[in-house]
Chain A
Amino acid sequence: MSTKTFFRLGVIFVVLLLLSGTTYVVNEAEQVIVTQLGEPVGKPVMTPGLHFKLPLVQKANYFDKRFLEWDGDPNQVPTKDKRFIWVDTYARWRISDPLKFFQRLRDERGAQSRLDDIVDGETRSAVARHDLVEVVRTSNREAAPIETGSEEETVLEKIQTGRQVIVDEILKRASARAADLGIELMDFRLKRINYVEEVQKDVFARMIAERNRVAQRYRSEGEGEAARIRGERERDLQRIQSEAYRTAQGLRGKADAEATNIYAEAYGRDADFYAFTKSMETYELTADPKGMLILTTDSDFLKYLKRSP
């Protein structure tokens, strides 16, 4: 069996090796630089599919064609208004010129560390050139009205540049510096912005104070309103009662006056007779079974008793 079979196997192995050395497969997400003994040869291969090269002396160097991520380390950066914040950024980039990329950076690891230098640097200087509020806010949008609190609404500070402009600026500067490396920066964003711990404490304290102010306001609003309603109650009560009293007294007075007029008109015809009838009525009304009546004989009633007929 042996020698012949081994020979045949050997031939097949060598043929396979040569074949595999002459072909390489580029997939959709890749691009290739062919190097001959380390020196780049020809144009970068961008189209996916099967490609050929010289075996042994030429080598296919693969690069990613897709958008790649770059994630910055969170950085402690002071803003223009001297507030220390953590800034965490990310960027999307791609290898736009694989030849340059290969010559300058060799591989992605090299690229990441160069991007760290470039983007972090630009971020740092851009943030330092602006106030914190400019980095946080994007537009001079008006805050939506809050129905309950009148003074509760904190008015949003006006900004001059805003986040988007700063971000664009960083992207532009970083792109310019990265272009020479065969890198195209697609997008840059501020992922996270946060106060550093010491500042955060102050901010929380401020928020608490502000909330307390609002709460205090609500409380005193409630007390004030309640007092006002109580006052209203007192006033309405007095008004209603006094108005009723006034009306009632007026009515009574008018009636008294009318009655007086009527009496005067009637009794005025003969005051003496009135006095007489009224006295008679009164005698009758005041007659008291337990009372004692002392009469003298010079009264009209008894005058006949004394005078003998």
Chain B
Amino acid sequence: MNRTVFEDRIHIDLDRFSEYAYLRKYLRPAVILLVFLILAFMTVYQVQPEEVGVVTRLGRFVRISEPGLSFKIPILEAVQKVPVQRQLKQEFGFRTEEAAVQTRYSPNAFPEESIMLTGDLNVAVVEWIVQYRVSDPYRYLFKVRNVEETFRSMNEAVMREVVGDRTVTEVLTVGRQDIETAVQEKLQHLAKQYDTGITVDQVVLQDVNPPDPVKPSWDAVNQAQQQRDRLINEARAEYNQVVPRASGEAEQAVLQAEGYSLDRVNRSQGDAARFKSLYDAYRRAPQVTRQRMYLETMQRVLPKTGGKIYLDKDAKGIIPLFTLEALQGRATSKEASQ
């Protein structure tokens, strides 16, 4: 059928250009060559390494062609290429504007995507990405219309379902890993249920924040926590500054007392031993010994004493003869020398 049309066209063309014999000679083979080239071009197609080609014949799915050069029947068969190896990504609550070493993000926030209610009826702002692949190109193309949009809706629904089962504190602090896993599982389940042909590789939470008006009070809590720790540490430092030293000093005092005890006992024992020996000797001739000791002491004491006044035992009233100053002076100097 098609060929007839083409040949016919060729006839017309030849008629139009009939004046030019030169053209008439070469045009027919040229046109045939052109038609042949076009058909060849429609027959051969290339599938890139990360893709597969889904071939349909008159709308009916017939085969999947692997990467490389492949052939199809022109006109009757059509091919749609699906990047099955490529990891695809969708972002929620933000958009990457230009991925580079220093990635730029869109300045517009997408609060409607990221604001959600937590289980204790508070509000959290959750941003996340999902990485996925097309694992079943047939389902991907023919089972769901507008897969991408469907997948976005699924993501939002599942994330809210999971976050809705957790407290705001959990969502903002310890629950991240847990949420990622839960969302990924549910999402995968749902993707299968919907016949999307999508495999979810990973769900990654990005910024998870309290809503802007509430943020300062969350920071205040962190600050208060720091402050608490600081106060406690300071008090501990003070404790450590004083108590170990006091323990040492206490030990010192005890040791000193022990020293005192030893000193006291030893000295008393010494004194006692000396006295006992002396006494034993004294007992043999008490009168003489006593006399001797007295006189010997006097002998030693008198030379060392500055002034000496000998008074007759019957002389009375001699004391007032000394000036008061002299006596006082001596008294003070005596005090000072003590």
Interface residue stretch chosen among A110-118, A119-127, A247-255: A247-255
**Which residues on A sit within 8 Å (CB–CB) of B290?**
273, 276
Convert A145-159 into 0s and 1s, putting 1 for each residue whose CB lies closer than 8 angstroms to a CB of B: 011110011101100
B162-176 interface with A by 8 A CB criterion: 164-170, 173-175
**Which residues on B sit within 8 Å (CB–CB) of A92?**
144, 150, 194
**Which residues on B sit within 8 Å (CB–CB) of A295?**
308-311
- How many B residues are at the interface, by size bracket? 35 or more
Q: Is the beta-carbon distance between B117 and A248 smaller than 8 angstroms?
A: no
**Which residues on B sit within 8 Å (CB–CB) of A284?**
297, 300-301
Q: Is the beta-carbon distance between A276 and B254 smaller than 8 angstroms?
A: no
From B116, B238, B250, A233 is in contact (CB under 8 Å) with B238
From A67, A148, A218, A292, B145 is in contact (CB under 8 Å) with A67
From B214, B304, B306, B312, A306 is in contact (CB under 8 Å) with B312
Q: Is the beta-carbon distance between B221 and A214 smaller than 8 angstroms?
A: yes
Is A187 among interface residues, defined by CB-CB distance under 8 A? Answer: yes
Closest Cβ of chain A: how far from B179's Cβ, in Å? Answer: 11
A256-B264 Cα distance, complex, nearest whole Å: 7
B35-80 interface with A by 8 A CB criterion: 56-61
Q: Which residue of the partner chain A has the closest CB to B314?
A: A297
A287-B300 Cα distance, complex, nearest whole Å: 9
Q: Which residue of the partner chain B has the closest CB to A227?
A: B235
Question: Which of B224, B230, B272, B302 counts the most chain A CB atoms within 10 A?
Answer: B224
Is B26 among interface residues, defined by CB-CB distance under 8 A? Answer: no
Is A222 among interface residues, defined by CB-CB distance under 8 A? Answer: yes
Is A269 among interface residues, defined by CB-CB distance under 8 A? Answer: yes
Interface residue stretch chosen among B1-9, B83-91, B95-103, B127-135: B1-9
From B60, B298, B306, A28 is in contact (CB under 8 Å) with B60
Is A270 among interface residues, defined by CB-CB distance under 8 A? Answer: yes
Q: Is the beta-carbon distance between A248 and B256 smaller than 8 angstroms?
A: yes
From A147, A215, A248, A293, B254 is in contact (CB under 8 Å) with A248
Q: Is the beta-carbon distance between B304 and A194 smaller than 8 angstroms?
A: no
Q: Is the beta-carbon distance between B282 and A296 smaller than 8 angstroms?
A: no
Interface size, chain A (Cβ < 8 Å): 130
**Which residues on A sit within 8 Å (CB–CB) of B258?**
251
Q: Is the beta-carbon distance between A138 and B311 smaller than 8 angstroms?
A: no
Given A262-B268, A291-B305, A293-B307, the answer on whether A27 and B278 have CB atoms closer than 8 Å is no
Is A30 among interface residues, defined by CB-CB distance under 8 A? Answer: yes
Convert A34-49 into 0s and 1s, putting 1 for each residue whose CB lies closer than 8 angstroms to a CB of B: 0000000000000111
Convert B275-291 into 0s and 1s, putting 1 for each residue whose CB lies closer than 8 angstroms to a CB of A: 11011001100100010
A191-B159 Cα distance, complex, nearest whole Å: 9
Is A203 among interface residues, defined by CB-CB distance under 8 A? Answer: yes
Q: Is the beta-carbon distance between A230 and B313 smaller than 8 angstroms?
A: no
Is B30 among interface residues, defined by CB-CB distance under 8 A? Answer: no
Q: Which residue of the partner chain A has the closest CB to B258?
A: A251
A28-B256 Cα distance, complex, nearest whole Å: 103
Convert A216-232 into 0s and 1s, putting 1 for each residue whose CB lies closer than 8 angstroms to a CB of B: 11110111011111101
Interface residues of A (CB under 8 A from B): 1, 5, 8-9, 12, 16, 19, 25-30, 47-50, 64-69, 71, 90, 92, 132-133, 136-139, 141, 143-144, 146-149, 152-154, 156-157, 163-164, 186-187, 189-195, 200, 203-204, 206-208, 211-212, 214-219, 221-223, 225-230, 232-233, 236-237, 240-241, 243-245, 247-252, 254-256, 258-260, 262-263, 265-267, 269-270, 273-274, 276-277, 280, 283-284, 287-298, 300-302, 305-306
Interface residues of B (CB under 8 A from A): 1, 4-5, 8, 11-12, 15, 56-61, 112, 115-123, 141-146, 149-150, 153-154, 156-157, 160-161, 164-170, 173-175, 178, 190, 193-195, 210-211, 213-214, 217-218, 220-221, 223-225, 227-232, 234-236, 238-239, 242-243, 246-247, 249-251, 253-254, 256-258, 260-265, 267-269, 271-273, 275-276, 278-279, 282-283, 286, 290, 293-295, 297-298, 300-302, 304-313, 330, 333-334, 337
Known: A48-B56, A146-B170. 20 other contacts (CB 8 A): A5-B15, A28-B141, A67-B150, A143-B170, A148-B225, A207-B168, A214-B221, A237-B242, A240-B246, A244-B249, A245-B253, A274-B275, A277-B275, A284-B297, A291-B330, A292-B330, A294-B310, A297-B310, A297-B311, A301-B295
4 A-B pairs with least C-beta separation: A222-B228, A27-B59, A244-B250, A255-B261
Can you give 23 A-B contacts (C-beta < 8 A)? Answer: A5-B11, A26-B59, A49-B60, A67-B195, A137-B165, A146-B169, A154-B168, A191-B156, A191-B160, A192-B112, A193-B160, A211-B214, A215-B224, A219-B227, A222-B227, A222-B228, A225-B231, A230-B239, A233-B238, A233-B242, A251-B261, A291-B334, A292-B306
